[in-house]
Each structure stands twice: as structure tokens, then as C-alpha cells.
Structure 1
Amino acid sequence: MSLANRAYSEKRNFIRMRVDSPVDIELTDDDGHINGICCELSGGGMSVEVDRALPVGTQMTIVLSSSHGHSPMLKATARVARVSSGPNERCTLGLEIEQLLN
């Protein structure tokens, strides 16, 4: 099926997967560290819940861990592409994966 034949919500390069796994975030610019939960993962990015908002464009290294204790599932550099939050809620960051790391 071509992209033109899909419903609008399906026009993505990669399918999103629900993962609900811990993610460690090392901020590139200020040596900060944030823990969060990766809610969705795709081939080009991820959605992560954290305790504080970060500015769009913030660069970071992410390490996505297995919820079963296995070695890291994913290590990559990423940047904040989107931020959403509400009053008294955790913040959701839309991260764009820039480079996979070993």
C-alpha cells in the first residue's frame, strides 16, 4: 500500500511502538542528567515522559533500557523536536534520533 492510500494518521515513515521502558538522558550542553520513561519508540524518534520541560533543539545522549534488566536496548544522540505539558502533569518530549551509538 502506498502512502497516498493510507489514512492520514498512518502516513509515517516508521511505525510507533509502545514500550514503557526507562530511559536515561544525558544533556549535551549543561552536563545534566534526567531519568524518564520512553512511552513510544519508532525508527526516527521517541516520546519520553520526564519531570521537567526542555527547550526545543536541546541535544542529548539517550540510553533506553530494557524493563527486564537486559543490557541497553538503544543508545543514541537525539534532540528535542516537540514539548507538551499541562498543569500538574509530567512533560512529554518528542525526541528525534540523530545517530545510533554502540
Structure 2
Amino acid sequence: MSQKDRDYSEKRDFIRMQIETTVALEHGDTKLSGTCIDLSSTGMQVLASAQLRMGDKVRVLIPSEHSELKGLDAQTEVVRVSQLDDGRQSLGLAILSMS
């Protein structure tokens, strides 16, 4: 399946929630802050001041605002990178696993 076919299939099969929340990113020893702007069961879009590349593995942490609910802790892979005019990157992250 081509990436274009996958993109179409993902849009059709998975609901993307539009959100805007701060996330912590860990890539090796590097810790970054970013903003998650949408989230689905298989991935997310994050804006961050980063220099990541396709295939990079990134841990994403989204804290919960409620003590009764566990936050998101996901191992992800960068599947799309777009350089923004303000120097940040728009990252498409596929969720590989969650703790």
C-alpha cells in the first residue's frame, strides 16, 4: 500500500480529535516540548522546535489533567516532517506502542 493510499485509508478509518495540548518529546537524550494538534488511535500531529527526520523514534508524553486518568505515554515513529516558516516542524507520528 502506498503512503497516499494509507493516508486516505487512515482519514476514512480513524477519527482524528482536534486538540491543542502541550506534549513532552524524548528522542534519545534530547528532551523537547511541543504541541499536539490532533490525535487518533494510530497517530498524532505535533508541532515542535525540533530537527527530527523520517524514521526517528520519539517517546511522547501527554500528562493527564485529572488525577483519576492516566496520561498518554507512547513510543512513536516520525512518518511525516514538514518545515514551518517559523522554524518549527510539523511532525506526523505513528503510534508504535503505549505504556
Normalised to the residue count of structure 2, the TM-score between the two structures is: 0.78
Structure 2 gap segments, 5+ residues each: 1-7
- 3-state SS, counterpart of residue 12 of structure 1: helix
Structure 1 gap segments, 5+ residues each: 1-7
Identity %: 39
Give the counterpart of 2:32 among 28, 31, 34.
34
Q: Shift of residue 12 of structure 1?
A: 2.6
User: Structure 1 CA distance, aligned partners of 2:11 and 2:48?
Assistant: 27
Instruction: Provide the residue aligned with 1:18 in structure 2.
Output: 18
Q: Which has the larger radius of gyration?
A: 1
CA RMSD in angstroms comes to 2.1
Q: 1:61 to 1:11 in 2, by over 3 A?
A: closer
1:26 partner amino acid = E
Instruction: Provide the residue aligned with 1:96 in structure 2.
Output: 94
User: Structure 2 CA distance, aligned partners of 1:93 and 1:55?
Assistant: 9
- 2:60 matched to 1:81? no
- 3-state SS, counterpart of residue 88 of structure 1: coil
How many pairs are equivalent?
90
Normalised to the residue count of structure 1, the TM-score between the two structures is: 0.76
Q: Shift of residue 26 of structure 1?
A: 1.0
Instruction: Provide the residue aligned with 2:56 in structure 1.
Output: 58
User: Structure 1 CA distance, aligned partners of 2:93 and 2:10?
Assistant: 19
